[in-house]
């Protein structure tokens, strides 16, 4: 067998146990709207939990628990996913293009905290600085300390 095929098969089996399908199901039919809202600089609808996921345990709502990511490995799998990772990078890049707007003006107070938590989580597992750029631009370079504390336990 081809070594690339074996590696892809390994990744597929690894990701299958992480229930990433719940994010794909939730994003179906709403991702494009979420992206348009971010590009327009104002979030109006309710999609934050599955578009900008954060660590499980940071929120107490059903959606926060259901869509919460429970380990670094699961965050890595999300980011490596051929659809979810691409979408997270795309919408994060769109947010970066809004220079001159405050995060709270785009997302509102509570969802701004969720975005910071998401950026902190994925910055810890990303091989580039896309998520750090958001932290630097919108959050004065200060990551979410609670997310970092929880991640250090993994």
Residue 17 belongs to domain with CATH number: 1.25.40.380
What's the pLDDT score for residue 33?
99
pTM score, whole prediction: 0.88
**Would you give the end-to-end CA distance of the chain in angstroms?**
34
Domain that holds residue 61: 3-152
Q: Looking at residue 113, what is its pLDDT?
A: 98
**Does position 10 have pLDDT exceeding 60, yes or no?**
no
pLDDT tens per residue, range 54-73: 999 898 899 999 999 999 99
Which pLDDT value is given to residue 153?
79
At 4 the pLDDT is 61
The tally of domains found in the chain comes to: 1
């Amino acid at each position: 067998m081809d070594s690339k095929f074996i590696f892809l098969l390994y990744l597929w089996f690894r990701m299958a146990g992480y229930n990433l399908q719940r994010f794909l199901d939730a994003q179906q039919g709403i991702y494009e709207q979420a992206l348009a809202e971010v590009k327009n600089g104002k979030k109006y609808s309710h999609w934050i939990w599955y578009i900008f996921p954060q660590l499980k345990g940071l929120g107490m709502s059903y959606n926060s628990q259901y869509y919460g990511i429970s380990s670094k490995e699961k965050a890595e799998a999300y980011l490596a996913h051929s659809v979810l990772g691409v979408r997270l990078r795309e919408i994060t890049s769109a947010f970066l293009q809004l220079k001159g707007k405050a995060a709270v003006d785009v997302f509102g107070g509570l969802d701004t905290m969720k975005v910071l938590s998401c950026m902190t989580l994925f910055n810890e597992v990303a091989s580039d600085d896309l998520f750090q750029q958001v932290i630097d631009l919108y959050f004065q370079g200060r990551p979410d300390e609670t997310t970092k504390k929880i991640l250090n336990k993994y």
